[in-house]
């Protein structure tokens, strides 16, 4: 269902004859180095067949698929996709996206910055969006301030799909539902439902993937990006996220947090193309619902 080893970035449909590497450079705006790397690494498919030849001749109606493979370059960073403007990574659970007053260095931002500076000492990185510390999954960073501004200023219109998998307590009997709430954060940073005049609208759609006597695994799409939105929604229906002691889960001895951002579909404002990023369901989520 969701598990993928390959992330499909985009399909492109050819409307004229072309040499493959020239198409990658001229139409898709890859540098010569980036295009060669894509071909060498087997990231280019033509009509669903891997092509590595630089001079491969494209025909009208051919379909090029650009893919990216999860590549764990080291224990600290799991890169999903990278180009000259953005880097997309799979954040582990229990890691801050960016620093706080209490923690400056143990952050995803610091790890990504260190990785980029190894390749280029002048490299910069900019936050575009973030996930809660406890939540794992897809996070995009910009490599320059112009790209950061393009994404941040237009985030809600650029994001076409935000998909999560959630491991929740108990048997969710309703197979799918849409939860609409108005959320407000109090002075203790606790988000709670309120009325439409005081809160911001949050729309959470879930579908049950599988369940057993203890847990349910849900596929969730959020239509809005409110703070702690999914966590509050699951608490409100009596099925809190596993490990989420802030919002209703009372087993203090688990080291699992059952929320993972697995799929993101976004319009790239630089290349003017739709990009789809996807990761695997965490193995623990699958194991606990078998």
Query: Catalytic residue numbers?
Result: 132
Does one domain contain both 188 and 284?
yes
Does one domain contain both 186 and 217?
yes
**Alpha-carbon 72 to chain mean position:** 16
In a 10 Å sphere around its CB, with 0-12 CB exposed, 13-18 middle and 19+ buried, how is residue 238 labelled? Answer: exposed
Collect all residues with Cβ–Cβ distance below 8 Å to 286 and sequence separation of at least 6: 217
Query: At which of 136, 153, 170 does a domain end?
Result: 153
**Strand, helix or coil for residue 234:** helix
Does one domain contain both 88 and 111?
yes
What CATH number is given to the structural domain containing 2? 3.10.290.10
Does one domain contain both 181 and 286?
yes
Does one domain contain both 184 and 290?
yes
| Model pLDDT for residues 54-89, shown as the tens digit of each residue | 999 999 989 898 876 444 444 468 889 988 999 999
Does one domain contain both 164 and 149?
no
Q: Specify the number of domains making up the chain.
A: 3
Q: Could you give the CA distance from residue 14 to residue 230 in angstroms, rounded to a whole number?
A: 40
Does one domain contain both 130 and 101?
yes
Q: Could you give the CA distance from residue 65 to residue 52 in angstroms, rounded to a whole number?
A: 13
Print the domain residue range for 38.
1-69
- Which candidate, 229, 286, 279, 281, places its Cα nearest to that of 80? 279
Q: Could you give the CA distance from residue 241 to residue 169 in angstroms, rounded to a whole number?
A: 6
Q: From first to last of the 290 residues of the chain, give the pLDDT tens digit.
A: 333 334 455 678 888 899 999 999 998 888 998 888 888 877 888 987 889 999 999 999 898 988 764 444 444 688 899 889 999 999 999 999 998 766 666 899 999 998 888 888 899 999 999 999 999 999 999 999 999 999 999 999 999 999 999 999 999 999 999 999 999 999 999 999 999 999 999 999 999 999 999 999 999 999 999 999 999 999 999 999 999 999 999 887 788 999 999 999 999 998 899 999 999 999 999 999 98
Q: Could you give the CA distance from residue 219 to residue 155 in angstroms, rounded to a whole number?
A: 22
Does one domain contain both 250 and 167?
yes
Does one domain contain both 59 and 109?
no
Structure tokens at 23: 């198409």
- Which candidate, 163, 139, 168, 167, places its Cα nearest to that of 284? 167
The predicted structure's pLDDT at residue 71: 43
Contact between residue 220 and residue 230 where contact means Cβ atoms under 8 Å apart: yes
The predicted structure's pLDDT at residue 121: 85
Q: Could you give the CA distance from residue 252 to residue 40 in angstroms, rounded to a whole number?
A: 48
Query: At which of 15, 34, 69 does a domain end?
Result: 69
Q: What is the DSSP letter of 107?
A: B
Number of H helices, E strands in the chain: 7, 18
How large is the C-alpha radius of gyration of the chain? 21
What CATH number is given to the structural domain containing 138? 3.30.2350.10
The predicted structure's pLDDT at residue 67: 73
Does one domain contain both 98 and 148?
yes
Query: At which of 153, 187, 220 does a domain end?
Result: 153
Does one domain contain both 289 and 165?
yes
Does one domain contain both 40 and 136?
no
């Amino acid at each position: 269902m969701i598990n993928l080893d390959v992330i499909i970035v985009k399909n492109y449909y050819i409307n004229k004859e072309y040499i493959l590497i020239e198409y990658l450079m001229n139409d898709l705006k890859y540098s010569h180095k980036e295009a060669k790397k894509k071909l060498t690494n087997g990231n280019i498919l033509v009509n669903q067949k891997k092509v590595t030849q630089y001079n491969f001749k494209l025909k009208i109606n051919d379909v090029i698929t650009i893919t990216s493979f999860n590549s764990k370059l080291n224990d600290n960073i799991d890169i999903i996709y990278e180009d000259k403007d953005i880097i997309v990574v799979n954040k582990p659970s229990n890691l801050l996206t960016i620093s706080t007053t209490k923690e400056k260095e143990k952050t995803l931002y610091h790890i990504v910055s260190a990785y980029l500076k190894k390749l280029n000492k002048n490299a910069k990185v900019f936050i575009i969006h973030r996930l809660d510390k406890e939540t794992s999954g897809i996070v995009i960073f910009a490599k320059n301030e112009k790209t950061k501004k393009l994404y941040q200023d237009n985030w809600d219109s650029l994001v076409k799909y935000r998909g999560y998998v959630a491991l929740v307590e108990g048997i969710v009997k309703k197979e799918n539902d849409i939860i609409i709430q108005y959320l407000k954060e109090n002075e203790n940073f606790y988000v709670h439902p309120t009325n439409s005049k005081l809160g911001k609208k949050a729309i959470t759609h879930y579908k049950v993937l599988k369940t057993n006597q203890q847990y349910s695994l849900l596929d969730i799409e959020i239509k809005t990006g409110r703070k702690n939105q999914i966590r509050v929604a699951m608490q409100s229906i009596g099925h809190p996220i596993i490990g989420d002691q802030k919002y209703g889960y009372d087993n203090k001895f688990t080291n699992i947090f059952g929320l993972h951002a697995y799929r993101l579909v976004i319009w790239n404002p630089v290349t003017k193309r739709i990009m789809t990023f996807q990761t695997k369901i965490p193995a623990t989520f699958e194991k606990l619902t078998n």
